[in-house]
Amino acid sequence: MEINVLAFCCMTVVLPACLTAQARSSSTSAKVEVVAFDSNGRFLGAPNVSLFESDDHKNLAAKFHAGVADGIPFGIYRIEGHLPAYSSEIRYVRVYQPHVAVVLGLTFSVELPEVPPILHGRVVGQVPPKSFVRLVGVYSNLSMESAIGADGEFNLGGLSDGRFLLLVVGQKGILASRAVSIPYTGPALEVELGRDQVVGPQ
């Protein structure tokens, strides 16, 4: 009887410790899945992952098969993905949950003109001090900013084709937003404060 009690005590102490250690070990690695779209939203499937580099310069790209890798340790990684006829994209990704999805936006590989397209526009309304315009790719990793002039005008140069979200950003968050496509061929581009507002911290 004493042996059984002793065995039971050992099981109640050792088994939970083993399970906790196993849970810890499985909770610090992730399955990472990478897919690609072109900059206009066409699904391209799994790209070739040529770089998946950790902070300590370990390249885990060889773990990826058809865009999926298991057992990726938690951390911040630099990824590079590419497909034939498309320019590669490099960005940083955070891996801190069991299943991580990474979406790369690949641009069709064409040579940009000597002077790439420039997007001119104007913010309509009372622009708070220290506000700016930010253009963010919906599918691509592109992000760029412009100051807003006294007359509300802004300019964003060096653009590639694709779908984007144009944001007016101030100290209270996003003041207005508008979807735009490049090349932009519509009427004079205006973003009106108070329309399509996204609530920010107050």
C-alpha torsion 133→137→138→140, nearest 10? -170
Q: All domains of the chain, ordered by start, with CATH?
A: 28-106 (2.60.40.10), 118-192 (2.60.40.1120)
Nearest 5°: CA angle at 140, between 138 and 144?
85
User: What is the SS3 assignment for 13?
Assistant: helix
User: What is the SS3 assignment for 4?
Assistant: helix
Question: The pTM is what?
Answer: 0.73
Q: What is the pLDDT along the chain (202 residues), one digit of tens a residue?
A: 444 544 444 444 444 444 444 444 447 999 999 999 998 899 999 999 999 999 999 999 999 999 999 999 999 999 999 999 998 899 999 999 999 999 999 988 765 555 667 899 999 999 999 999 999 999 988 899 999 999 999 999 888 888 999 999 999 999 999 999 988 888 889 999 976 554 444 3
